Chains A and B, each alone.
Chain A
Amino acid sequence: MSRVRADEEEYWHSSKFRAFTFDDEDDELSQLKESKRAVNSLRDIVDDDDDDLERVSWSGEPVGSISWSIKETASGSTSSLDGRDSSLQKGSSSYAALPKQASSYSLSSLFKGRNKLSSFQSLSDALTDTGVKNYAPELRRPKAEYKDYSSDWSPKDTVRRMQRGKVCSLERFRSLQDKLVLLDEAVAGHDGNVITAVLIFLKRTLRREILFRELEVRQVALCHLIHFLRETGEQKFLLDLLRFLDRTEEVALSQYREHLNIQDVEKRREFLKGCIGLPFSAEDASHIQDHYTLLERQIIIEANDRHLEMAGQSELFRKYPRKASILNMPLVTTLFYSCFYHYTEAEGMFSSPTNLKKTFKIPDKQFVLTALAARAKLRAWGDVDALLTTKNWLGYTKKKAPIGFHRVVEILQRNSAPVQVLQEYVRLVDDVETRLNLATKYKCHDVVIETYRDLKDRIQLTAYKGKVERGSAEEEKINSILSN
């Protein structure tokens, strides 16, 4: 939006790039309208009761779908189900009747080909289909399975059995050598389920140092163990492992993550304080420091303001009661809050906007944007003016907006600023076309008239006369310009 509209327009027309425009907009819309109209007119002809046609209840669940029937049976109305059985059958048979695809090899046609009885391979068919084993390789019994009762499987066979979901005792792998062969076999199978199972076994039966040392040269297994420790919340074990591996940044982040589980703010603050010294990257370290400082501030501000609000002395808090506590809010939200409730405070106060700006090195742009939104919300137009006014060393004042005046206008307009306030800033928009657009949109007549006057555009000015009230001061103004 900061890009000037006119430039953009020109850009799109002159450059080779195409945006997703609707050049044929009217045409498009009318086409939609047309089909809508056609559809509507048809309602008169056709009986409108198309519910049974779609076989879909209002919520859209096809009758008989699983989620639909969970609701049904959970409500205990089994009897009503029987009544609908016939429609269920109808539903399920037509449900799968996909039409021919563009590709003649569509899977649906392949499914149909396989099953001559019906168009769809249903669950019941599958269950009674004993010949299926011939099709699926994983159902074929490998040789290993014939010696089911032998306890003498090789590591390879053990892993294979586990891959098929069979429970195996791993206890007989006693030596370190055996255990590592088992682990390597599991890794070679790529099945995370099995790898994790073996790791659980190794974790239980090996000393930490040995486990860590062996995992260091087995990256895949190592990743699985880290993932496992994270899932099960074995934070201490995880940190030990990461430290052993010298993955210090990961240690730091992993420890920092823990703060999310701490609900009590005091404890969370303490915890974050402890995170400051951790070996983050330089960039991250400063963010973590800021996170701690912010929460520390918020705790102080919160205690103060809660007290103020309860006491009922402050008019501001009475008039605009707080919607929620400021604890754990992002920095920009905190700045907004402080601009709203603590705007006039001296820089020495923790809750003052200028103090926040300094402490967190908030860029000018961000600061003005936030302060503007907060003051506009309070309709404190004087503050808005002051915020955008700069004085040079000779004492001359000048209006300046690091975010551009068109943005200022937008923000003020959103907070329903009166036209007098609005037009002062519309007038300051540099680009003529943007200024005219904004002025016309928000009915800042004076600005429109003056701009056309400066452009010496009699035609537009005359045309604009129709948009102002008859006999108003604006009309008079236009007349006097035109007659000059």
Chain B
Amino acid sequence: MAAHLSSGRVKPSLLFPQAIVWDEYLTGPFGLIAQYSLLKEHEVEKMFTLKPGRLPPADVKNIIFFVRPKLELMDIITDNVLREDRGRSPQRDFHILFVPRRSLLCEQWLKEQGVLGSFIHREQYSLDLIPFDGDLLSMESESAFKECYLESDQTSLYHAAKGLMTLQALYGTIPQIFGKGDCARHVANMMIRMKREFPGSQNSIFPVFDTLLLLDRNVDLLTPLATQLTYEGLIDEIYGIQNTYVKLPPEKFAPKKQGESGKDLPTEPKKLQLNSAEELYAEIRDKNFNAVGSVLSKKAKIISAAFEERHHAKTVGEIKQFVSQLPHMQAARSSLANHTSIAELIKDITTSEDFFDNLTVEQEFMSGIDTDKVNNYIEDCIAQKHPLIKILRLVCLQSVCNSGLKQKVLDHYKREILQTYGYEHILTLNNLEKAGLLKPQTGGRNNYPTIRKTLRLWMDDVNEQNPNDISYVYSGYAPLSVRLAQLLARPGWRSIEEVLKMLPGPHFEERQQLPTGLQKKRQHGENRVTLVFFLGGVTYAEIAALRFLSQMEDGGTEYIIATTKLINGTTWIKSLMEKLEPAPF
């Protein structure tokens, strides 16, 4: 953390009152590491959202733009600067702070617009990895997958490598690096190179992590396409979690007080923060949704019983003790109320016929049934004009589970999609093809069954209530990515060489030498710690599966998770779609 924040060297030099103009996307991630009160201590008087037009009046000496290096944002800044009233006094100075990197391309752009000279300071704020939870770091780089696999732009990998160097500087050199995929190979190479170029960086910190596992998203294209069935995964699938916050329909959260029913019904969405700081959420977030109801009801009983205690409190001492526990009980009650409401909202959806039908088809594909012909349900969904992203998720899932579709099947789907949703989507279909998500089967060979069987990706006897395998997170399907992590820990990848060769990209192992004094002498029964870095995104269900492995009694390995972006099938496919103008209706 310290390292992330310390590189913002622009701050101390500006001791005059200042205003920050925010690229709105950044407020989410920044909100996770700094509060407004903190900025205020540093003479930040005002904050605005970046938008075209004249900047609002504010009596400050300095205006600082906090932006991502994106050309469209540079255009807005240019507009702001050109409209600034030159006659005002005192004149305001402009500064620009790029997050995470200063971009020469953007500066060139500003120069061409004739405003580069208006900025006194141009700096960068290297926010590489942002902590999302006790065991989770994300770069929140929304386009990382697209850049890596569609545009062959490896800049996000460079940032990932830099983030890992920072992490090693804080938590010690990681002695073992494993990886699978082209991007993983690149990142490992960059890390080794960076280490060589800064020989002084050999630090004397006792290593926290034993192993780093780098995984390319394109090694496992299947998992994000399937519907996540953990509590947190479903919240994300249905409502979308952004920077640990979720916005929910307000109806179920209306405060019901006696005598004022129907009054002041909130119309704004209810916004909640979701992380493990909330005891109840920490307990249920990674459970299969089918196991959530019983936990909530158990909790309700416990809390009710706790409140009943007040009847038994006879002496002043007992009453005092009861009262002292009240705040905690109130917090628990309000947390329970929230999650009961969320669970009800989700249940309305998971019990719907369409959810069931959709899941049925997903599970058929994942278990290898009828993946080689046109699927009726998908056709029906197209005919009824279900959202395009839903269609694309299913078709891509079928393609991945069949190592590509038969040309005839692929052409059929394409034609139906273009005729129903518009021919311009040919560009999106092309992107999906380039990314390997939707493709014709080449060589007439379907590798998926072998991969499925060897890695035991489909488990028939899944236990949702008391799981004994990671497949519970998708009610039967064990995420391939996490299976790779699990097999690496025990018995090792040598046992699955054949399958690894079927998956795209190289697999490799590197060792980083440690000074003898820092080499770990493991105590008996002490767990190993593995950092798993997902290049191109990770889903909440995969995170849940890794947490499940961490908690297994005889697991022997604990996992910390890092990624370029937290994704689900919808946000992922969306990032690959061609940006089209919104339809008029």
Contact = CB atoms under 8 A, between A and B. Distances in A.
Interface stretch (A37-45, A300-308, A455-463): A37-45
B424 A260 contact: yes
Interface string A177-219: 0000000000001111110110010000000000000000001
Interface stretch (B214-222, B333-341, B509-517, B565-573): B333-341
Given A129-B2, A200-B105, A366-B419, A22 B304 contact: no
B103 interface: yes
A142 B380 CA distance: 62
A105 B560 contact: yes
Contacts of A16: 460
Among A59, A89, A294, residue most surrounded by chain B Cβ atoms (within 10 Å): A59
Interface stretch (A94-102, A340-348, A381-389, A470-478): A94-102
Contact of A121 (B2, B45, B293, B334): B2
Contacts of A284: 426
A471 B86 CA distance: 89
Contacts of B359: 19-20
Interface stretch (A132-140, A240-248, A310-318, A443-451): A132-140
A106 B135 contact: yes
Contact of A38 (B134, B294, B304): B304
Contacts of A394: none
Tell me the dominant secondary structure on chain B's binding face: helix
B133 interface: yes
Contacts of B103: 193
Given A38-B303, A39-B333, A193-B155, A74 B340 contact: no
B360 A19 contact: yes
B22 A66 contact: yes
B108 interface: yes
Contacts of A160: 197
Contacts of B493: none
A329 B294 CA distance: 48
B551 A64 contact: no
B380 A2 contact: yes
Contacts of B310: 45
B33 to A, nearest CB: 7
A127 B334 contact: no
A107 B31 contact: no
Given A22-B290, A60-B273, A66 B36 contact: yes
A99 B331 CA distance: 15
Given A18-B476, A121-B1, A137-B198, A165 B101 contact: yes
B351 A22 contact: yes
Interface in B89-129: 101-105, 107-109, 123-124, 126
Interface in B188-207: 190, 194, 197-198, 200-201, 203
Given A62-B273, A74-B56, A287 B8 contact: no
Among B158, B161, B331, residue most surrounded by chain A Cβ atoms (within 10 Å): B158
Contacts of B341: 36
A162 interface: yes
B422 interface: yes
A103 B363 contact: no
Contacts of B239: none
B37 interface: yes
Interface residues of A, number: 137
A256 B580 CA distance: 13
Contact of B135 (A99, A103, A111): A103
B333 to A, nearest CB: 5
A377 to B, nearest CB: 14
A318 B493 CA distance: 71
A271 interface: no
B2 A331 contact: no
A98 B134 contact: yes
B257 interface: yes
B104 A32 contact: no
B77 interface: no
B584 A196 contact: no
A59 to B, nearest CB: 5
Contacts of B551: 102
Given A39-B340, A190-B158, A290-B423, A3 B108 contact: no
Contacts of A288: 423, 426
B344 A32 contact: yes
Contacts of B318: none
Nearest to B161: A190
Contact of A115 (B2, B255, B476): B2
Contacts of A480: none
Contacts of A64: 35-37
A234 to B, nearest CB: 12
Nearest to B294: A31
Contacts of A66: 22, 27, 30-31, 34-36, 39, 47
Interface stretch (A146-154, A222-230, A424-432, A434-442): A222-230
Among B5, B42, B307, B364, residue most surrounded by chain A Cβ atoms (within 10 Å): B5
Contacts of B419: 330-332, 360, 362, 366
Interface in A350-367: 360, 362, 365-366
B297 A31 contact: yes
B343 interface: yes
A325 B584 contact: yes
A124 B290 contact: no
Contacts of A110: 170-171, 208
A74 B57 CA distance: 10
Contacts of B450: none
Contact of B104 (A98, A193, A403): A193
B5 A190 contact: no
A109 B133 CA distance: 11
A73 B41 contact: no
Nearest to B414: A283
B560 A103 contact: yes
Nearest to B304: A38
A4 to B, nearest CB: 11
A393 interface: no
Contacts of B422: 328-330
A127 B162 contact: no
B229 interface: yes
Nearest to B580: A260
B64 to A, nearest CB: 14
Contact of B6 (A115, A132, A137, A167): A132
Interface string B417-439: 01111111011001000000000
Contacts of B46: 73-74, 78
Interface in B111-160: 123-124, 126, 131, 133-137, 147, 151-155, 157-158
A283 B277 contact: no
Interface in A1-60: 1-3, 8, 12, 16-22, 25, 28-29, 31-32, 34-43, 45-46, 48, 50, 53-54, 56, 58-60
30 contacts: A19-B359, A21-B356, A40-B256, A56-B273, A60-B270, A73-B45, A92-B35, A92-B38, A101-B135, A102-B551, A106-B560, A107-B131, A122-B38, A132-B3, A135-B203, A140-B198, A167-B104, A190-B157, A193-B155, A196-B104, A196-B105, A232-B109, A260-B580, A287-B423, A287-B426, A329-B583, A332-B385, A332-B419, A360-B419, A369-B383
Given A60-B270, A135-B2, A260-B580, 16 more contacts: A20-B359, A35-B297, A39-B336, A60-B271, A64-B36, A74-B56, A81-B40, A98-B134, A99-B279, A103-B529, A105-B558, A110-B208, A132-B2, A135-B203, A189-B158, A290-B423
- The 6 A-B residue pairs with the shortest CB-CB distance in the complex, in nearest-first order: A60-B271, A192-B155, A126-B5, A38-B300, A223-B152, A106-B134
